[in-house]
């Protein structure tokens, strides 16, 4: 794809080794529902599938969405939609994504909206955005910080992207607060005398930051 088209759509694809490291550090477990927002040609999606995740790949660009369907077939669900208008799952889900930088704020606000079932998110964003959200200075922080914590998990070099990223980037990690990441938006039990169903996996033990620094290449 010509460079001018990539720039117009805000597309900076992670190289395969760095996509692997991002997924590895996220600690995805088999059977978990994971959204790859801004999935591009599937560099992150492929590794999520390898981990046994149930993947929803969100991609607005029509040619890339078509390529995702061609590459992965029925093993994933491809949703061609703008992240700002994305309808989130009604069950617990995680996000591992490298979205276009231009939609970062809209996406994060969507993920942390009222009644979201988000368990955790590992999202590649501009470094200054990651710092602002980690410091609790992002839009609506007084609302979402009660239910979630955010921190900068790692910083990525420009060579982690194809083409190289035009600015400093980082991985922003968002985790639900509460014991074992319990989901306060889970539906109530309908009967007594039974143990509550597990509506969210126990908080994952993410791989150390060294994974994203490249100390454990595939």
Assigned superfamily of 3-179: Vaccinia Virus protein VP39 (3.40.50.150)
Q: What is the pLDDT of residues 97-143, one digit of tens each?
A: 999 999 999 999 999 998 999 999 999 999 999 999 999 999 889 89
Mean pLDDT (whole number) for 149-168: 95
Give residue 195's pLDDT: 33
Give the torsion sign (CA, 139, 142, 148, 149). Answer: positive
Give the torsion sign (CA, 72, 73, 75, 79). Answer: positive
What is residue 96's three-state secondary structure? strand
Give residue 174's pLDDT: 98
Helix-strand-coil percent breakdown of the chain, rounded to 5? Answer: 35, 20, 45
Q: Of 41, 40, 151, nearest to 100 (Cα)? A: 40
Q: Structure pTM?
A: 0.80
Separation in Å, CA 138 to CA 13, 156, 194, 214: 25, 21, 40, 29
Mean pLDDT (whole number) for 49-58: 98
> Would you list the domain boundaries of the chain?
3-179
Distance CA 46, CA 28 (A): 13
Q: Is the pLDDT of residue 176 over 60?
A: yes
């Amino acid at each position: 794809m010509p460079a001018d088209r990539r720039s117009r759509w805000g597309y900076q694809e992670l190289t395969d080794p760095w996509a692997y490291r991002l997924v590895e550090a996220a600690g995805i477990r088999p059977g978990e529902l994971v959204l790859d927002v801004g999935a591009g040609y599937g560099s992150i999606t492929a590794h999520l599938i390898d981990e046994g995740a149930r993947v929803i790949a969100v991609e607005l660009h029509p040619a890339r969405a078509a390529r995702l369907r061609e590459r992965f077939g029925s093993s994933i669900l491809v949703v061609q939609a703008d992240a700002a208008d994305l309808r989130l799952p009604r069950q617990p889900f995680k996000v591992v994504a490298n979205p276009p930088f231009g939609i970062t704020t809209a996406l994060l606000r969507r993920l942390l909206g009222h009644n979201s079932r988000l368990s955790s998110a590992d999202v590649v964003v501009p470094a200054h955005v990651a710092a602002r959200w980690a410091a609790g200075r992002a839009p609506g922080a007084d609302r979402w910080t009660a239910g979630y914590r955010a921190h900068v998990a790692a910083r990525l070099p420009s060579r982690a992207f194809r083409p190289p990223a035009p600015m400093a980037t980082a991985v922003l990690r968002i985790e639900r607060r509460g014991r074992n990441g319990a989901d306060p938006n889970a539906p109530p039990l309908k009967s007594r005398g039974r143990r509550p169903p597990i509506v969210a996996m126990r908080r994952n033990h993410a791989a150390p930051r060294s994974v994203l620094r490249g100390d454990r290449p595939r």
